[in-house]
Amino acid sequence: MAVTLVVELWPDQTKAPGMALGAVSQFDIDEVIVKRGGELIALKRKKDAKDPAKSTWEITSPLKWRAVKSRVETMLRLFSETRPSLRGFEGKDNKKYGFDGKNAIEVTIMAGGAVRNHFIVGNRVVARTEIDPRTRRAKKSYETYVMLPKDKFVYQLAGDLREPFDRKPGELRDKKLFEFDAADVAKIELHKMSADEADVTLVGTTKEEKKLVSDPKDALKKKKRTWSFVAPKEIDCDQSQATSFVRRLAALRVKEFHTLDGSLDKFGFSADSPRLKATLEDDTSVTLTFAQKTVEEKPKVDPKKKRKKPSGPKKVTHYYLHLESNKKEVFEVAKYTYEGLFKPYTAFMDRKVLAGVDPKKVKSIELKHDKSLVALERAGKGWKMVSPAGVTVEPNEIERFVKTVTALRAASYEPDAKPEQSGLKEPELYAKLTLEGGESVTFVLGKKNKGKSRIYGQVLRQKGRIVPALFYTSVERQLKKTALDFQSKVVFKLDPSKLSNLSLRYREKGKTTKLMLRREKAADGKSHWMVVSPEPKVYGDAKKIGALVKRIGQLRASKFYPGKTATEVNLVKDKAYVEISLSDGTGSRQSLIISSKSDGSYLYAKGGAPSGVFSISKYVIKSLLKKKDDLKGVAPAPPKNETPKGPTLEKKPAPKKPTLE
């Protein structure tokens, strides 16, 4: 339940005739003048040149600046309807009602060049207080003392007519510094932003999109700009960083305005201060100078909070910007705003360190780390291993590696990193990519940083700036590849359609099972799979044996173990779990031994095309363990128009019947 307290404000004075402030549509009001003491604030409506239906407000006095539209509209809404006086009386004590020279606010509302309302605002008083039953908070309703110029009567009007007009020019100023949009910025120049004082120039080229966007907020969608470095040269630009920077510049907001009544030195500016210059599409430009100053300030004490001992002064850093075209003011901004614009050239460098390298144009790779050296070359549509020689490679693995290298992203750039600190003078790993045309790029890795969470690396190019960077340590694992990692993982290199013999032997639960399959010509003259062992020989099921052969042909190594020997993982005939032998009609023969020992869900294996010990999925091997009955089939039917072969009887001529002569 809401509780209402009504306070009757009725001074015991002579009653005055009634008055009312006239209603004026807020869309018709084009000028507001507010006077307080010796200060005058003039606000004027400014129509949008592109869209006359839209408009903004600007302060024309005491300075020229954009006004906060929402605060001006709060003033205008007061006159949306007629405001009659509740009561009136002859006021003799101007100070009591707020009409003295210090507190009185004179307001003039104009529409179409004519004065529509002209009055003086005094104090406001609480008319009633309501307690919100849900939030338990008090909500106050006000009444305001108002006088007409050159009149002796004081009137009380419903509502708060004082708070909207009781503002200083700084409170009505729009804190957004610039009027241009991010899409209008065509060029960015940064001077002395980095430790090496390298000047940065970014140029954005515009590409108009076919899709038109009606909402001006989506201007960047309509004008998509591609940014590139002009200086320093030969550096790839991070489009997202450049676009974000331009948007941040266009949306720059001021924390506080400071009047410049002397030298810029007192704010920390000097001749060597960093600068930012933004050139717009219409060739106009804005230049900002950066400065920061640390001073000792006493902390602000909240009277509501009690402290045992007042704390001493603390060092506080203020961040300032100076606009070259504004000689009268310095703008104080928040720390995150300052740091968002104070950027070295490395902030705009593409984190993708090999952004300009196309994986498809990599002609050869040289990878060296520890005591391993791998050299790979493109051969037609595939790859071959040059060093070590004689290793059959997996083309997909090499393509994946090339894509990994060309997609490497830096966590951050560290242009000030020292060689002894980074270890890049004598790198622990390098990957050299030679491109079509002979150009080469080399990626090197050095030492880990102090926290061990990052590792130093850099790209060495034949041209362009070399900048050390920090990468996540996972990059070391991604690049430390050996010849085994690129080796083909296909176990059997036999064409299943040409396979003539298949031998499968395995031990399970203490029992050994041996299967021998052979292709033979049957009575129908066609080649069929026969299960020749164990005896007796029977026809095999073509579909089931075909599926088995297909699975065996698809066997792939999962992982290689260069340090393991066959003996230590039971890869010898008398201790093997599974043995598979294949041969074709040309006499080519391959065999595979699979151990009973496992590495998790993988079994050790040796044989086939790969060299050394490797592993195969336990579940894949289990699917190969078949018995004779699993593969048993039926004999093929003889051709329809053919008599079954077998012993034949000689046909004797029938005896002649006697004839009568």
Give the DSSP H or E segment for 412.
strand 412-413
Calculated CA dihedral for residues 425, 428, 429, 434, nearest 10 degrees: 30
Region 43-48: what's the mean pLDDT?
Answer: 89
- Where is average pLDDT lowest: 233-247, 360-374, 483-497? 483-497
Q: Taking 60 as the threshold, does the pLDDT of residue 240 lie above it? A: yes
Contact 615, 507 (CB under 8 A): no
Q: Taking 70 as the threshold, does the pLDDT of residue 309 lie above it? A: no
pLDDT at 661: 45
What pLDDT, in 10s, does the model give residues 454-485?
999 999 986 767 889 999 999 999 999 999 88
Q: Taking 70 as the threshold, does the pLDDT of residue 295 lie above it? A: yes
In 311-445, which ranges are continuous DSSP H helix? Answer: 335-341, 395-406, 419-422
pLDDT at 2: 35
Place of tokens 């460098």: 349
What CA–CA distance (Å, rounded) separates 200 from 183? 20
Under the banding of pLDDT at 50, 70 and 90, the label for residue 517 is very high
pLDDT at 215: 57
pLDDT at 645: 52
What pLDDT, in 10s, does the model give residues 366-392?
999 987 899 999 999 899 999 998 888
Q: Taking 70 as the threshold, does the pLDDT of residue 197 lie above it? A: no
What pLDDT, in 10s, does the model give residues 562-608?
888 888 888 887 788 999 999 987 878 899 999 989 999 999 999 98
DSSP, res 657: P
pLDDT at 562: 84
pLDDT at 587: 79
> Which of 277, 269, 270, 268 lies closest to 199, judged by CA?
277
What CA–CA distance (Å, rounded) separates 327 from 154? 45
Share of the chain above pLDDT 90, in %: 56
pLDDT at 340: 92
In 407-457, which ranges are continuous DSSP H helix? Answer: 419-422
What type of residue is 193?
Answer: M
Mean pLDDT of the chain: 86
Under the banding of pLDDT at 50, 70 and 90, the label for residue 643 is low
> Which of 164, 133, 156 lies closest to 7, judged by CA?
156
pLDDT greater at residue 9 or residue 476: 476
Region 359-368: what's the mean pLDDT?
Answer: 96
| CA distances, 210 to each of 186, 213, 215, 218, 227 (Å) | 20, 9, 15, 14, 20
Region 201-221: what's the mean pLDDT?
Answer: 63
Give the DSSP H or E segment for 100.
none
> Exposed, middle or buried: residue 196 (CB in 10 Å: 0-12, 13-18, 19+)?
exposed
Contact 155, 90 (CB under 8 A): no
pLDDT at 5: 29
pLDDT at 193: 79
Q: Could you tell me the pTM of the whole model? A: 0.71
Helix (H, G, I), strand (E, B) or coil at 529: strand
What CA–CA distance (Å, rounded) separates 68 from 171? 8
pLDDT at 12: 45
pLDDT at 6: 33
Q: Taking 90 as the threshold, does the pLDDT of residue 651 lie above it? A: no
What CA–CA distance (Å, rounded) separates 632 from 531? 7
- Where is average pLDDT lowest: 45-54, 319-328, 456-465, 620-629? 45-54
Q: Taking 70 as the threshold, does the pLDDT of residue 219 lie above it? A: no
pLDDT at 415: 87
The percent of the chain in helix, strand and coil, each rounded to the nearest 5, is: 15, 40, 45
Q: Taking 90 as the threshold, does the pLDDT of residue 653 lie above it? A: no
What type of residue is 272?
Answer: D
Under the banding of pLDDT at 50, 70 and 90, the label for residue 649 is very low
What CA–CA distance (Å, rounded) separates 486 from 397? 6
> Which of 553, 496, 483, 517 lies closest to 631, judged by CA?
517
Share of the chain above pLDDT 70, in %: 88
3 state SS for 240-277: HHHHHHHHHHHCCECCEEEECCCCHHHHCCCCCCCEEE
pLDDT at 10: 45
pLDDT greater at residue 57 or residue 2: 57
Which residues lie across from 139 on neighbouring strands?
A: 130
pLDDT at 341: 92
What CA–CA distance (Å, rounded) separates 458 from 446? 9
What CA–CA distance (Å, rounded) separates 544 from 535? 19
Region 110-121: what's the mean pLDDT?
Answer: 94
In 512-653, which ranges are continuous DSSP H helix? Answer: 542-553, 618-622, 628-631
pLDDT at 525: 72
What are 72's two structure tokens?
Answer: 């001006």
Region 250-260: what's the mean pLDDT?
Answer: 93
pLDDT greater at residue 276 or residue 216: 276
pLDDT greater at residue 4 or residue 386: 386
Q: Taking 50 as the threshold, does the pLDDT of residue 140 lie above it? A: yes
Helix (H, G, I), strand (E, B) or coil at 551: helix
Under the banding of pLDDT at 50, 70 and 90, the label for residue 4 is very low
Contact 530, 632 (CB under 8 A): no
In 179-321, which ranges are continuous DSSP H helix? Answer: 219-222, 239-250
Region 89-116: what's the mean pLDDT?
Answer: 89
What pLDDT, in 10s, does the model give residues 73-98?
999 999 999 999 998 888 777 888 99
Contact 469, 457 (CB under 8 A): yes
pLDDT at 588: 85
**Most confident among 229-238, 296-305, 334-343 (mean pLDDT):** 334-343
pLDDT at 263: 87
Under the banding of pLDDT at 50, 70 and 90, the label for residue 223 is low
What pLDDT, in 10s, does the model give residues 436-452?
989 999 999 999 988 88
Region 182-209: what's the mean pLDDT?
Answer: 82
pLDDT greater at residue 206 or residue 405: 405
pLDDT at 8: 38
Region 309-319: what's the mean pLDDT?
Answer: 82
Q: How far is CA 288 from the centre of its chain?
A: 29
